Structure 1
């Protein structure tokens, strides 16, 4: 699964998200994702991660083997 495809799927489900994808092993199979969205504000981290996994439509563990996930709400100034 390509990094651009992962990013697009997350952005489709969470339109305001800032998404950074890093290929950890260079094999297109192990990625890290950093997802920042206002919709995460006040939401427990488990629910934030569930929203991202839902955006990937069941590809975790299949087409996408591993995803190291970091989520957050934007920093307020």
Structure 2
């Protein structure tokens, strides 16, 4: 059964204190390729690599079921600066 955007968002929200989450199905609806933007205070003081490893570990079961997964991880301060 394919992973849905709602499944990914629920898993992220359950695992991290998030200020903002965007999950985009980039596979035209088949659920095989996702891009996510996660804004969380849990990323404070961590390198991009450490943040991505954290998310990959939290979503290990979901990522194993899809073809492609890209992520952007920001702190609330970084997100505010980009907007």
1:56 maps to 59
Structure 1 residue 19 displacement after superposition? 1.2
More helix by share: 2
Specify every segment of 5 or more residues in structure 2 that has no aligned partner in the other structure, as ranges: none
Specify which of 47, 56, 71 is matched with residue 50 of structure 2. 47
2:41 maps to 38
Q: CA RMSD in A?
A: 1.7
Q: TM-score, normalised by structure 2?
A: 0.80
Count of aligned positions: 76
1:23 maps to 25
Asked whether the 8 Å contact 2:39–2:76 carries over to 1, the reply is yes
Q: 2:15 aligned with 1:13, yes or no? A: yes
CA distance in 1, matches of 2:19, 2:68: 20
Specify every segment of 5 or more residues in structure 1 that has no aligned partner in the other structure, as ranges: none
